[in-house]
A and B are shown apart, each in its own frame.
Chain A
Amino acid sequence: MGASNAAVELLAGNLELHPDKIAYFCADKALSYRELEKESLRFAHLLKKKGITPQELVLVALPDCIAFPVAFLGCLLSGAVAVAVSPDIDGEELAHIVGDCGARLLVSHKEYAIAHSAIGDGLKVVTCDDLGPLEDFNTCADFDRPFQPSADDFAYMLYSSGSTGRPKGVPHLHQSLLLPCDLVGKAVLEITCEDVIFSTSKFFFAYGLINSLALPLRFGAMAILHPEKPDPLTVLDIIHRHKPSIFFSVPTIFTQIILSCTDRELKLPMRLCCSAGEALPRLLFEEWRWLTGLEILDGIGSTEMAYHFITNFPGRAVAGSTGNLVPGFRARLVDEDGNDVPPGCEGNLLISGPTRTPRYWNLPGKSAESMLPDGFIKTGDIFVEKEGFYYFRGRSDDMIKSGGCWVSPFTVEDVLRTHPAVADCVVAALSVGTINRPGAFVVLNPGTEQTPALAGELRRHVRERLPDYMCPIRFRFMAELPRTTTGKIQRFKLREQFAL
């Protein structure tokens, strides 16, 4: 049985209705729907010319510029599976992903080309500027036969951080780009072609991909792209210049915008503000509403489910709640034995729905462990449900959400242990000023003095080697780490200490 090609579905209606409407704005550059289709088809032709065959995986390591939708849609039109990764990805992780997915071609940006070229021989590279590929292929015949996928053919894959630090490939069918538009974009957010969408979350996140690619194109809206790291002043400048009607972001950015304001009131043009990536604290919801008059719609999704499955609805958002189950999904809260917990009790959240990934890439054991035969998937999140509203209560594993990104404590601990002063360490989550960050408990080598300057040095040590959001903000020095009788570190005890 066949399936719709998501790229064709996302483009076709717009070409009939408003081909010359702007689809994307990025800095001073714009791309109309007609141009987007033309460039995507040309990119599909380029892939074919490079020998890429249907269902072959292609790495797309581009920043959030116009070249991303061109390359991503081009992959889908040609039948290739677009594997979106961060352009800032480090060499070791990129090498792991190349080995894991077997990609022969990497789509890079000229500003990252040198870093990406370190991956080695055998990987073809298509280098882009902000608008698309640099290489001249104007003489190519137009690619006019989009790939017709079968029901089992993949459209794209994202990598999600694993608790062991090795990212897991999460492949998705074409419908995973389209269904979130209907289930959330239409039914919850009521997006129309009048909307202007701005997401600070990037394309290589599941949240950002649907926000900036699927939703605008599905509804013929316009999207604003920002390739750089989102600092609050730039974000506010973009908001004031482009006047988005829908703003997608994460709690850290909402906090930073609040902290950057000196006035008692902040006038914003949006009709909707949406948050995901990590739970939105009640105080942040209230402070934002006090400052802007707008509610923030918190929601939760996952890479495995492609987008949100629980979200607040406009006009009836509840502070401190992640919201209601999105119609089309099923949820269960279960105990450690998999039995449903009574109403009002904490339970591990299981989710089932039509956007679920069929499996992890090359990880049958992990797939079988997380994806149950009845269609539900373990999220690792603990929730309470009261009168239809879900309230986040924590994680059932050791993973940390920081700045909307997953952090494996083991990755940070490995880096900390490379500092000569550190004998042993444990990294756990803590919350400061409504922002979640990692914190570290450190046992020093004999003869090393505990000083504030050493804490600063350890911070710099991590920050020079890992992304900012992974950097611990608090260092507690200890004589020894709490362990069980079998020698396992009791992380929950340390998490409790941070809460004191």
Chain B
Amino acid sequence: MSVINELKDLMLNIGIDERIVNEVDPDQVLAKHVLDSVDYTAFIVAIEERYGIKVTDRYALKLRTLNDFKNYIDAY
């Protein structure tokens, strides 16, 4: 499974509506109509637990799209 699809699975796990997840483009800004502040923090936590990584505060303010998260995970 690609990282993007894994990330979409994590979004489903934290309770994001399936229709919204299916329509998310990898370059779409998640703060626009996809993740609110509660979802966003839960998504970061889910990524940290799934990949065993730490998303630092400095990077958290720069990770806006699924591709941003994918690139961060790839480079970790």
Seen from chain A, the residues whose Cβ lies within 8 Å of a Cβ on chain B are: 231-233, 252, 255-256, 258-262, 281, 283-284, 287, 403, 431-435, 437, 452-453, 455-456, 459-460, 463, 468-469, 471, 473-474
Contact = CB atoms under 8 A, between A and B. Distances in A.
A281 B56 CA distance: 13
Contact of B57 (A232, A259, A261, A433): A433
- Grouping DSSP codes into helix (H, G, I), strand (E, B) and loop, the A interface class, with mixed when no group exceeds half, is helix
B14 A456 contact: yes
Nearest to B59: A433
Nearest to A437: B41
B19 interface: no
Contacts of A260: 29, 31-32, 64
Contacts of A259: 29-31, 40, 61, 64
A473 B10 CA distance: 13
Contacts of A431: 57
Which 3 A-B pairs have CB atoms at the shortest separation, nearest pair first? Answer: A433-B60, A260-B31, A259-B31
Nearest to A291: B61
B41 A432 contact: yes
B60 A432 contact: yes
B61 A258 contact: yes
A468 B38 contact: yes
Contact of B38 (A232, A281, A284, A469): A469
A463 B15 contact: yes
B73 interface: no
A473 B41 contact: yes
B15 to A, nearest CB: 5
- Grouping DSSP codes into helix (H, G, I), strand (E, B) and loop, the B interface class, with mixed when no group exceeds half, is helix
Given A233-B32, A433-B60, A459 B41 contact: no
Given A437-B38, A456-B14, A463-B15, A432 B45 contact: yes
15 contacts: A231-B36, A232-B32, A255-B61, A256-B31, A258-B61, A262-B29, A284-B61, A287-B61, A432-B41, A433-B60, A435-B41, A452-B46, A452-B49, A463-B38, A474-B42
Contact of A456 (B13, B29, B37): B13
Interface in B23-38: 29-33, 36-38
B44 interface: yes
A434 B57 contact: yes
B71 to A, nearest CB: 15
B13 A452 contact: yes
Given A256-B37, A463-B15, 12 more contacts: A231-B36, A255-B61, A256-B36, A259-B29, A260-B32, A262-B29, A432-B41, A433-B61, A435-B37, A459-B14, A459-B42, A474-B42
Given A283-B61, A468-B36, A453 B13 contact: yes
A270 to B, nearest CB: 20
A471 B46 CA distance: 15
Interface of B: 10, 12-15, 29-33, 36-38, 40-42, 44-46, 49-50, 55, 57-58, 60-61, 64
Contact of A435 (B33, B40, B58): B40
Q: Which of A259, A261, A262, A435 is most buried by chain B, counting CB atoms within 10 A of its CB?
A: A259
A52 to B, nearest CB: 39
Contact of A474 (B33, B37, B45, B50): B45
B10 to A, nearest CB: 8
Contacts of A437: 38, 41
A471 B38 contact: yes
A230 B57 CA distance: 23
B15 A456 contact: yes
B13 A434 contact: no
Contacts of A233: 32-33
A468 B61 CA distance: 21
Contacts of B44: 432-433
Contacts of B32: 232-233, 260
A258 B37 CA distance: 12
Nearest to B55: A433
Nearest to A469: B38
A287 B40 CA distance: 18
A370 B11 CA distance: 44
B47 to A, nearest CB: 10
Nearest to A229: B36
A262 B64 contact: yes
A256 B32 CA distance: 9
A261 B55 CA distance: 19
B38 A434 contact: no
A260 B30 CA distance: 7
Nearest to A475: B45
Contacts of A435: 37, 40-41
Contacts of B55: 432-433
Nearest to A251: B37
A473 B29 CA distance: 21
B13 A403 contact: no
Q: Which of B13, B37, B45, B64 is most buried by chain A, counting CB atoms within 10 A of its CB?
A: B37
Contacts of B60: 432-434
Nearest to A459: B15
A226 to B, nearest CB: 16
Given A259-B64, A435-B37, A474-B45, A455 B29 contact: no
A336 to B, nearest CB: 31
